[in-house]
Amino acid sequence: MGTIFRILDSWFVPVLVGVAYLGLIGTSDMSPAISIVTLVFMGLILLLWSGFRELRLHAIASRHAAVGEPDELLVLADKQIAGRMRAGGRVPFQVYRAVAFELKGDREAATAALAAVQFDLLTPKSRRGWTALAAATKVNLLAQADDAAGARRAFEDELRVAMKGVPGPGAEIILREAEARVLLVEGKHDDARAMFEVLAKDIRLGPATRGACKYFIGKCLEATDPAAAQEAYAAAAKLAPRTWIAGAI
């Protein structure tokens, strides 16, 4: 069933539309002007199909990241990178690849994946969101490596700058989560915990993100309330059982 769906999704629909329109033109008594208009409409339909397909792929990738399914996200990203003819179309999935490795807890692979992202292939407008997501991933990786200075630099010099061009509440959430991670690695546990607790209750976030927030709440509480820390760790593992969190507890 999966193979059939991939065939239908990749080339069957555009080929069918093309054959239908060309057959219509070839079997109808159309003037040259009407034939040209028909071809234009065929092109518009194929563009709409391509746009909706792209949106669906990004929705699937975002869901894998939010739910905490790094293996599925990595498979999707690798397939899209390998199968796309246009180099610019690979860039978002290069970023998703880094996100997948970060969710798996493979910092070395995630860092290498970030370094391989070809942002220069994107237009300035389309680049903003992807550079922001990459910068947030970089902050997370540096914070997890206990590099407080590096995480703070990446947050201030890269993530804040990238987020200036990204509107909406989602951008603010990404900023708050990244800042909380920086505060935690800087040893400002009370400030970090307050931010993580708000994020952990935010239903707009996926279980993987809320699970990470629960885990970091536990890190903030380890020294002062070990029992509460263990409770937070258990909640984190339940929310994100397939991410690095489960192996860190």
**pLDDT tens figures, 113-152:** 999 999 999 988 888 889 999 999 999 999 999 999 999 9
Enter the DSSP assignment of 159.
Answer: I
- The answer to whether the beta carbons of residues 130 and 119 sit under 8 Å apart is yes
53, exposed or middle or buried, with CB in 10 Å at 0-12, 13-18, 19+?
middle
> What does the domain layout of the chain look like in residue ranges?
1-66, 68-122
More confident residue, 15 or 64: 64
Highest mean pLDDT among 4-8, 69-73, 80-84: 69-73
Q: What is the pTM of this model?
A: 0.85
Residue 152, helix vs strand vs coil: helix
Confidence of residue 1 (pLDDT cuts 50, 70, 90): very low
137, exposed or middle or buried, with CB in 10 Å at 0-12, 13-18, 19+?
buried
pLDDT at 2 over 50: no
Q: What percent of the chain has pLDDT over 90?
A: 65
